[in-house]
Structure 1
Amino acid sequence: MGETPHEGLIHCDWVVANYERLGGLVRDSALAFAALFIDEAHYLNEHQAGRTRNVFVMATRIPRRFVVTGTPLLNREVELHTLLRMTGHPMGGLSLREFTKQFAGDKARRAVLADSLRGWMLRRSKSVLKDLGMKTRQVRYISPAEGLGTYQQIYDDMTLQAMPKIVKLRQALERLKTPFLIETVEGLSEGDKIIIFCEYMATVQLMQAAFSAQGIQSVSLVGSDSPTKRQKAIDSFQTTRR
């Protein structure tokens, strides 16, 4: 939903929102939905977390609810109870105390729980992925025209201990890829975009400056970004043309 005002959502057939934006939807009781699909549901394993409480509230207003996750669910029974409650399953209507009393604690109780969930939990093995296209990998070897001197200086520095030296060498190698990446981006077709994964923050900043100097628009998303900043980066990536 990005930065879309809620009044603009009333006539939408579908609304896609991340968990950080769910609080706004919860507060807007004028929005009515026929179904709720909760992706990456394993992020809601803590029943007292704010995002989980928001989903609980949304679930009370929506008649059909589905949860999807690629992560095993039966790690802790309390986590499974949370998802059962979201979907409206009768077992989710039990109090957490009663649920754990009946289905947690030993192998036999867990077996009863698994048997009771056969009609609710649909498991798919990796064999269902055979209809997808094959993943292709391409390894590119590059020989930077400049910058190897810095790498060699670090390598030859006998004052550095092993681990700090390895980090500095990896940083130097990561930065040396910048000209190649700029060349790759400039060779893309109109409208194409590329995602670059970096290991070090300094590389992100260096690459953004290098891209900007070449007139290439870019956005960054790093682990220290706030949820709001992350969403703005995602929105910008989706709407910005190269």
Structure 2
Amino acid sequence: MYWNTEMGHWPVNVVIMAGGKGTRLKPLTDNTHKSLIPVGGKPIIRHLIDHLAGFGFKEIHISVGHLAEQMTSYLGDGRDLGISIRYIQERLPMGSIGAMTLKYRWPHEHFLVINGDVYSNFDTGNLCTEYFSQKADMAVLTVPSTVKVPYGVLEMTPNGRITSFTEKPGYEFMVNAGVYIFNKKVLNLLPKGIAYEGWQLVQAALHAGLHVAGVPQTTGYWIDIGSMETLRKAQEMSQIGIAQE
């Protein structure tokens, strides 16, 4: 038995990474923490915390840096939300996952790490179940994304003969959703005290020959609120009731 799926008994440390400056959302983020921007009348991070609490997670760590006092003032210690919140303070920018090295003692051997700008109702239980059942060292939540080519695409032989032609095709890929679960072997791959990104940690785990699993999100919604366009999309979804909590 690797886990206990009873509510409140997941053996993982939950960490929300919210130390970034949100530069792509300027000027909204000049004086407001990115994760505190409201969607559907509630800050982004509250959607995420409420979602996690619904799966039984009652202890959450949050990395803070830029405008940290806004986050700590708004959430406090989490008592009013029925949970416990602890903060990891970034004195310097640490990228999307580097702040994990700023804390030395963790109560559990496994880590669920989520970007603080993720607006999603992803199936946390399924992600954890797949990670443990596959005995993976790391699992990455994935979502489908279609890339549209605005031109006709040709396939050609080396001597210049056209073998196929597709007008403005769309290609679907599975992309990183910014949600990870991993063990201490992966954590130990993080370089200490420097900025580091989640995608770099995935690459490091693959390079080390560790078992990295991809877990597709098959239902629900997912938006990375990293731009004005995706913020508008999230706000539109909440207004028409598609993404009600």
- Normalised by the shorter chain, which TM-score bucket? under 0.3
> TM-score with structure 2 length normalisation?
0.25
**Which has the higher relative contact order, 1 or 2, with Cα contacts under 8 A spaced 6 or more apart?**
2
Name the larger-Rg structure: 1
When you count helix as a share of all residues, which structure comes out higher? 1
